[in-house]
Amino acid sequence: MKQYHGLDKLCQSLQGWVKPRDLATALLADLQDCRCRIFGCIGEDDKILLATLHLLPDDLRYEMFDQRIDLIVAGPILRNDCVPLTYRLQGRAFAITGRCSMIAKVCGVDLYLQRSYTGVIGDIARQKFSIDINALLKSQKSG
């Protein structure tokens, strides 16, 4: 299940009532050097790093009309001895974690890896993320 981390810390730096544009500006700064790590599992070891994807230059954007941040990360697949199960998209303070899969329609998964995630060592995997600013604000108010 998708979880957000560090949102409280990120919002502490914002003064007064946090508006979508304020949160988006803070997130854009926080995610400038973000990376996404994809993990698998063998036996008891549930943190086997399969790939580290880094933000592509000029691929971090705020869509003001839809009030979302879009970004694309890419990087080489490092291991293929287990299937991808979890991910962590990490900025300086803000992070998103959850379950992932290469197979469509798997229950309990919030990120389906794009076709570029072939599972072949050395292949470059690309993944797009969209972060809904209004959903983050709602989770911040309810949390």
Whether 27 shows a pLDDT value over 70: the answer reads yes
Look-up of token digits 């991808």: 84
- Average confidence (pLDDT) over 18-45: 92
* Domain total in the chain: 1
Q: For all residues of the chain together, what is the average pLDDT? A: 92
The residue segments making up the domain with residue 44 are 3-142
Rounded CA gap, 4 and 13, in Å?
17
Encode pLDDT of 39-83 as tens digits: 999 888 778 999 999 999 999 999 988 899 999 999 999 999 999
Give the helix/strand (H/E) hosting 98: strand 95-101
DSSP state of 85: E
- Amino acid 10 reads L
> Phi and psi (nearest 5°) for 93?
-120, -40
User: Got the DSSP string for 5-51?
Assistant: ESHHHHHHTS-SSPPHHHHHHHHHHHTTT-EEEEEEEETTEEEEEEE
